[in-house]
């Protein structure tokens, strides 16, 4: 990611999306964990902003969350863990033929479906609004 515009590996993109979408929750989990600081997530954000080793910093953050008592680590914040952190009904297709908001730089796999009276979220890395696309 020399210029910050390349996409991360699929697993890395999911993990980075989880960090962006759940930054406040991850920070809280880190503060209440054994290390008591947000250093691991701050290193992920710095690496993503500066084109550094995102995969390595994500792996460290994942391991720190696991060591803090969350066996899923970053996987617990991804959409694949929706059955645990959110409700997904079996047999219900969540694909929508409407606007969707994506990572503004294409760094991660984050997406957000528009909701009435809810402002568009910001990217935790660039602090810009997520990018609107149509399906």
pTM above 0.75, yes or no: no
Is 78 contained in some domain?
Answer: yes
Burial 104-115 (b: 16+ CB within 10 A, else e): bbebbbbebeee
| DSSP per-residue codes, 27-73 | HHHHHHSSS-S-HHHHHHHHHHHHT--HHHHHHHHHHHHHHTT-TTG
Q: Which domain holds residue 25?
A: 10-85
Give domain status of residue 111, yes or no: no
State the total domains in the chain: 1
In a domain, 124, yes or no: no
Residue 116 lies in a domain: no
pLDDT of 70 reads: 85
Q: Give the model's pLDDT for residue 11.
A: 73
Whether 73 is covered by a domain: the verdict is yes
> Does residue 3 lie in a domain region?
no
Note whether residue 68 is domain-resident: yes
Mean pLDDT by 10 residues, the chain (135 residues): 45 88 92 87 94 92 90 80 44 62 92 92 94 88
Tell me what pLDDT residue 30 has.
92
Residue 22 lies in a domain: yes
């Amino acid at each position: 990611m020399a210029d910050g515009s390349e996409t991360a590996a699929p697993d890395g993109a999911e993990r980075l999306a989880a960090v962006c979408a759940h930054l406040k929750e991850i920070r809280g989990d880190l503060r209440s964990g054994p290390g008591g600081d947000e250093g691991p997530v701050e290193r992920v954000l710095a690496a993503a902003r500066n084109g550094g080793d995102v995969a390595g910093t994500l792996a460290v953050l994942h391991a720190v969350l696991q060591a803090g008592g969350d066996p899923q680590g970053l996987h617990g914040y991804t959409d694949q863990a929706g059955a645990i952190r959110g409700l997904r009904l079996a047999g219900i297709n969540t694909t929508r033929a409407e606007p969707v908001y994506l990572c503004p730089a294409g760094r991660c796999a984050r997406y957000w479906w528009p909701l009435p009276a809810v402002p568009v979220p910001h990217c935790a890395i660039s602090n810009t609004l997520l990018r609107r696309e149509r399906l």
